[in-house]
């Protein structure tokens, strides 16, 4: 992630309008929660137990929403109605590490700046009393009387509003998709060249221009059976003796905004025919599901629609000999598609606010039996969501299916044939438009690469 990436005039203007919108949203949230000002702590570095090595710093998303400052602990932002936001910018005189650069870049003009060289100096620039303050941050960021209180009504309002992206955010998300698309193609090349998971991961990093530290989440790089592990967390350094399939779920970050893209590839060959047919069917289903991203649509319906697609594919591909209705009723599709269709995307890969019933809070329930769905809201223009259907051969879920009353309807010989390929997930980042078909950031990014 490049904190000061791309200082073109377009970013200046996009960011100016973005901050104006955030100011309005903050004022609205403050009036709803009855606070006078919003104080946001960027966060603090955390250390391993009995150790002096810090964990990778994770900024408060509410802080990086205002400016592309992702590696800036001990900084603060004060937002007051009718004032320019005040940024207290921590820049220590540190010769062990590279301190944050002097504040420059397209974002600087939108803030009243105070530079501090010690964390306590923030107190000189911030309110002397916490009275009337909504202080948003992690508990560890507390500084004397400035103790985060994270008022729920304020957070609910901010999280509700944040699902709709500004043009600055959309442009950052587009760029994050472009970086990731390029890297996914490099990963595929490394796989087709016989590379190990670790080599594919490194090819991805080189092409994205990221290091591991910059990724919005740990890359998922699964060859063969590893493609069946939804969040496979290792990277085998041994080259596969018989490569068959590759699932890469990996993104990139621009200005602190994430992409989250999954592609599944076949290595080819005569044995891959059934897998490739399944891959083609999933590709068609994924595109149809992306097309369901429309203003006013209940995202839960897209999830339920995915189960219908999976049922049809299981029947058409000869995996399950049951009616699609019966498959749904007996939760057969959940054995093959055991996660949600997607989530909000933005400052966090699984962005906050997915279950809010309204700006005033409350929870909008998941459909019964679908515990892993991460978004239950109606879609609004400007929302960015992922659409990520999957179909996997997961041994533990297949054992349960085999033992169930639906087990007899499964063609287990065909399942055995596909097990060594692990599974399929295809994931795009999609923006809901006011009218008509959605903008598919990920497909657009791949298309631009030719």
Q: Does 428 bind Mn ion (CB under 5 A)?
A: no
Q: Please select the residue that binds ligand GLY; options are 236, 249, 324, 429, rule is CB under 6 A.
A: 249
- C-alpha to C-alpha distance for 165 and 172, rounded to whole angstroms: 10
Closest residue to ligand GLY: CB criterion: 249
Q: What are phi and psi of 56, to 5 degrees?
A: -60, 125
Q: Please select the residue that binds ligand GLY; options are 156, 199, 236, 260, rule is CB under 6 A.
A: 260
Structure tokens at 347: 């400052």
Give burial (CB, 10 Å; 0-12/13-18/19+) of 93: exposed
351 touches, from ligand GLY, Mn ion, none (C-beta below 5 to 8 Å by class)? none
Q: Does 351 bind Mn ion (CB under 5 A)?
A: no
- Residue span binding Mn ion (CB under 5 A) among the ranges 43-51, 133-141, 386-394, 430-438: 386-394
Q: Does 260 bind Mn ion (CB under 5 A)?
A: yes
- C-alpha to C-alpha distance for 207 and 182, rounded to whole angstroms: 6
Structure tokens at 120: 């306590």
217 touches, from ligand GLY, Mn ion, none (C-beta below 5 to 8 Å by class)? ligand GLY
Residues 6 or more apart whose CB falls under 8 angstroms from that of 78 comprise 37, 38, 39, 40, 85, 86, 88, 125, 126, 127
Considering only residues 402 to 431 of the shown chain, the ones binding ligand GLY according to CB under 6 A are: 427
Shortest Å, Cβ 135 to Mn ion: 31
- Residue span binding Mn ion (CB under 5 A) among the ranges 111-119, 180-188, 420-428, 432-440: 420-428
Cβ atoms of 221 and 204 closer than 8 Å: yes
Place of tokens 């207290």: 88
Nearer to Mn ion, 23 or 442 (CB): 442
Q: Please select the residue that binds ligand GLY; options are 4, 153, 217, 312, rule is CB under 6 A.
A: 217
Nearer to ligand GLY, 287 or 349 (CB): 349
C-alpha to C-alpha distances, 346 to 354, 356, 357, nearest whole angstrom: 12, 16, 20
Q: Does 386 bind Mn ion (CB under 5 A)?
A: yes
Cβ atoms of 5 and 254 closer than 8 Å: yes
Q: How many CB atoms lie within 10 A of CB 2?
A: 14
Helix (H) or strand (E) holding 357: strand 356-358
333 touches, from Mn ion, ligand GLY, none (C-beta below 5 to 8 Å by class)? none
Helix (H) or strand (E) holding 189: helix 167-192
Nearer to ligand GLY, 196 or 219 (CB): 219
Q: Does 388 bind ligand GLY (CB under 6 A)?
A: yes
Q: Does 351 bind ligand GLY (CB under 6 A)?
A: no
- The contact set with ligand GLY (CB under 6 A) reads 217, 249, 260, 343, 349, 388, 427
- The contact set with Mn ion (CB under 5 A) reads 249, 260, 262, 386, 427
């Amino acid at each position: 992630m490049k904190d000061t990436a791309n200082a073109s005039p377009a970013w200046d203007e996009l960011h100016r309008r973005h901050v104006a919108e955030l100011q309005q949203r903050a004022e609205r949230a403050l009036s709803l929660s009855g606070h006078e000002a919003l104080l946001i702590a960027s966060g603090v570095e955390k250390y391993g137990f009995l150790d002096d090595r810090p964990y990778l710093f994770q900024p408060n998303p509410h802080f990086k929403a205002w400016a592309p400052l992702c590696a800036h602990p001990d900084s603060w932002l004060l937002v007051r109605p009718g004032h320019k936001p005040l940024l207290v910018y921590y820049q220590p005189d540190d010769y062990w590490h590279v301190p944050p650069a002097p504040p420059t870049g397209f974002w600087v003009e939108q803030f009243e700046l105070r530079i501090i060289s010690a964390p306590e100096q923030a107190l000189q620039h911030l309110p002397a009393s916490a009275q009337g303050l909504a202080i948003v941050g992690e508990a560890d960021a507390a500084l004397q009387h400035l103790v985060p209180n994270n008022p729920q009504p304020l957070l609910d309002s901010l999280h509700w509003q944040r699902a709709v992206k500004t043009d600055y955010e959309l442009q950052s998300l587009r760029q994050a998709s472009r970086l990731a698309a390029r890297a996914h193609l490099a990963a595929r090349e490394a796989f087709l060249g016989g590379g190990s998971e670790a080599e594919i991961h490194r090819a991805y990093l080189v092409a994205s221009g990221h290091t591991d530290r910059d990724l919005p989440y740990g890359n998922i790089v699964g060859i063969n059976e590893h493609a069946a592990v939804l969040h496979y967390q290792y990277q085998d350094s041994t080259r596969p003796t018989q490569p068959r399939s590759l699932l890469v779920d990996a993104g990139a970050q621009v200005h602190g905004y994430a992409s989250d893209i999954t592609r599944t590839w076949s290595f080819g060959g005569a044995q891959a025919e059934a897998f490739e047919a399944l891959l083609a069917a999933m590709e068609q289903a994924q595109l149809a599901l992306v097309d369901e991203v429309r203003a006013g649509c209940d995202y839960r319906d897209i999830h339920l629609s995915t189960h219908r697609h999976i049922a049809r594919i299981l029947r058409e591909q000869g995996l399950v000999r049951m009616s699609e209705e019966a498959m749904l009723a007996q939760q057969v599709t959940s054995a093959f598609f055991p996660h949600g269709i997607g989530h909000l995307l933005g400052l966090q890969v699984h962005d906050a606010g997915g279950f809010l019933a309204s700006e005033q809070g409350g929870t909008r329930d998941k459909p019964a039996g679908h515990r892993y769905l991460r978004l239950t809201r109606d879609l609004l223009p400007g929302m960015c969501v992922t659409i990520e259907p999957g179909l996997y051969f997961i041994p533990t879920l297949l054992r349960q299916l085999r033992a169930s009353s639906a087990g007899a309807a499964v063609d287990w010989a065909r399942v055995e044939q596909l097990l060594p390929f692990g599974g399929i997930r295809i994931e795009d980042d999609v923006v809901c438009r006011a009218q008509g078909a959605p903008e598919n950031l990920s497909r657009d990014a791949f298309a631009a690469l030719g």
